[in-house]
Structure formats: structure tokens, C-alpha cells
Amino acid sequence: MEPIDEYVVEEIWQEVSGFTPSQIKREMQKLGKEQPALLSFILEFTDEVDQEVKGLALYMLFTVYRMFQKGFGKKIKSISPDKIINCYESNEKLMQRLEGAHDKFYDRIAKTQVSEQPFIMKYILETLFEQSDDEDPVDLTDDDIGYLYLLLKTGVDILNTTTNE
């Protein structure tokens, strides 16, 4: 399947950024009903990070999920916990193998690993690295950025696989 269009990604990003706290709460409850395992994955794997970091992870997951809904225009079938964990473990192994790799090699691998949904991955990276431009930035450490990237890449990968089945 084709990658989700850059304009769809930007439209959803802008739409969600305008949501009120009550809209976000309502939509997160809806996400929890549609994808309980995916939401639980993010909640459990961010259990030991600062509350603001956890909130950012949830917000970004919700935004990514909306991008997939709009981009593919169909209901996304429920994802099993086993599929999510297998995908996470695969991504975690990839990240471990890349530790200490030469920058050119790392760049080449990163490009091939995010190529199926490049515009969503661009949104994730921009959000993680450009926090200082926001009105109320979340103070992210390098470890937070790496960890959130791993979690959100897992979300993107599993949503991409599920929508293409």
C-alpha cells in the first residue's frame, strides 16, 4: 500500500492540536475501545517516565492512529498484544544493533526502516526534536526521545501492518 499522504498527516496534526482537553479525553476513550492492546502497550511502557512524557506519548499515539484512520479511510481491526510485543521486540533489537554504528550506515538503515510511512515518521521526529518551539514544551532527555521513538515506531509499524492485511 502507498504511504499516507503528507497532506493528510499535516491535516490531522493540525486538527488534533486544536482539540480541547475534553475532546482529547473523549477521543482517547474511543481509542481505548477500538485498540485496547495498543493503548495498554503505551500506558504500560511509559509507566516509569515523567507524567508529561507519558502524556506526550499518548497524544502522539492518538495523533498517529488518526492519521492511519484518515489515510486509509477504514476501520482498523483490533491489534493483539502478541503482535504488538513481537513488533516492539523486533524494533528494540534493531535499535540495539545500531548502537555504535557509523553515522552513514545508521542514516541508511533509518531511511529504509521508516520508508513505508515516511511522513508519519517525519511528524514523530519533528515532534520529538522540536519541543522547544512549542508554547508549553515537554522537557525530554535524549533517553526519553530514543524511548518514545521506539514506542511510536512500534505503533506505526503495527498499524501499517494491520491496515495492509
**Structural domain containing residue 126:** 6-163
Q: Which three cell numbers stand for residue 31?
A: 481509542
Q: Is residue 12 part of a domain?
A: yes
- pTM of the full predicted structure? 0.87
Q: Is residue 1 part of a domain?
A: no
Q: Is residue 22 part of a domain?
A: yes
Residue carrying C-alpha cell 507519558: 54
pLDDT-derived band at 52, boundaries 50, 70, 90: very high
pLDDT at 110: 54
pLDDT-derived band at 54, boundaries 50, 70, 90: very high
pLDDT tens digit sequence for 124-139: 988 988 765 566 778 8
Q: Which residue has the higher pLDDT, 9 or 164?
A: 9
Q: Is residue 107 part of a domain?
A: yes
Query: How many structural domains comprise the chain?
Result: 1
115 CB-contact burial (10 Å; exposed 0-12 / middle 13-18 / buried 19+): exposed
pLDDT tens digit sequence for 104-126: 554 555 555 556 899 999 999 88
Report, as an integer, the average pLDDT of 83-102: 81
